[in-house]
Structures are given as C-alpha cells and as structure tokens.
Amino acid sequence: MTKRIMILATDGFEQSELMKPKANLENAGFATTVVSLEKGEIKGWDQKDWGDSVAVDKTVDEIESCEGYDALLLPGGQMNPDILRMNERAVAIVKMFDQAGKPIAAICHAPWLLVEAGIVKGKTVTAWPSVRTDLKNAGANVVDREAAIDGNLITSRNPDDIPAFSKALIEMLGQTVDKRELEAA
C-alpha cells in the first residue's frame, strides 16, 4: 500500500519548500495530499514575489484524525506558518501526528507550528535563524545543521537544505535514497 503524506500549508508558503519536497516524495513513490484552510488553491511565495498556485485536496475542517496518513510535511515561508499557527484546527492536526508518533517534517519558519503545538520541549531542532529564539523559549535544543532529527521530528533551516530534508523524511518512511537524486531549491 502506498504511503500517504499530508502537506499542511496556506497562502504564502515558500514555493520551493512545498514543491520540491512534494516532488521528491512523489518521485520516491509516496502519495501527497495538500490540506489548507479553504478549498480551491493556495498561492506560493517565490523569493520576492507571489509564485505558483497549488490545488488544495482537503481543508483542515475535513481532517478528523491522522488515520490514513503516514507523515506530515510543513513547508515554511514567513506568512504560511504564521497564519496556520493562529488556526486551532491546523495546530490540532500537528498535535495529532505527534501524539500518533508519526513523522513531522518542518522547514524554515514552519517550526513555529511545532512551538504552537507544544511539541518541541526537550527536542533537538533547527529552523530559520529568526525562529530559533522561539524554539529555545519553548524548551528546544536548537542546532545549526541542514537536517535535525529527533524522534518523529525532522527540521531544516532553509531551501538550501531541501535535499537533506527530503532524504531524512523519505528514510524515516522506510525507503533509502541518494541525496544527489533529490530536487533542490
């Protein structure tokens, strides 16, 4: 049976941090489902301006549990996780995946959602530099590396880390992959 990965995002996601890991996961044989706050499409942020849109498969209100999903992917971008962490259903989804012990991969600013869900205390994590103080204040051990793995959490700093980020998630899902084969930012 094909493993399924939920991608939780909204308008303002960092385009490369959703599109490249999504492509890497799909190329590895996984199915992805984009979940957002509303139906339709969400628009990415591509460095300095609005980027491409992605179709939304389900809304947060349609997600009752993490049953049927094997992992959660949280792309960054400054706007995306800041909006999501203000939504109770989005935060509840992150908590559900953590309570089930399923992999949660968060890159760049996305660890803000991990802080909001209260799941970083005592964990070794990384993030975009401006998010690191929030992680420390939430009790996390913050490191500066391309992929920090602690239990079910995978965190990375920025788009340059996408190959290591994708590799860590794919391997946590039980497959091996050569980092050189993965799409970068």
Residue 34: what pLDDT?
Answer: 98
60 belongs to the catalytic site: no
- Of all residues in the chain, the percent with pLDDT exceeding 90 is 92
| Long-range CB pairs of 41-46, under 8 A, 24+ apart, other chains included | 42/9, 42/10, 42/11, 42/13, 43/11, 43/12, 44/12, 44/13, 44/14, 44/15, 44/18, 44/19, 44/77, 45/12, 45/13, 45/14, 45/15, 45/77, 45/78, 45/79, 45/80, 46/15, 46/16
CATH number at residue 130: 3.40.50.880
Residue 106: what pLDDT?
Answer: 98
pLDDT of residue 177 exceeding 90, the answer is no
Residue 41: what pLDDT?
Answer: 98
Name the residue range of residue 122's domain: 4-181
> What pLDDT band is residue 68 in, cutting at 50, 70 and 90?
very high
Q: Which of 22, 102, 109, 167 is catalytic?
A: 109
Residue 185: what pLDDT?
Answer: 65
Q: In the chain, how many domains are there?
A: 1
What is the pTM for the complete model shown? Answer: 0.97
> What pLDDT band is residue 180 in, cutting at 50, 70 and 90?
confident
Which positions ≥6 away from 123 have C-beta within 8 Å? 140, 141, 150, 151, 153
pLDDT digits (tens, 9 = 90+) for 113-161: 999 999 999 999 999 999 999 999 999 999 999 999 999 999 999 999 9
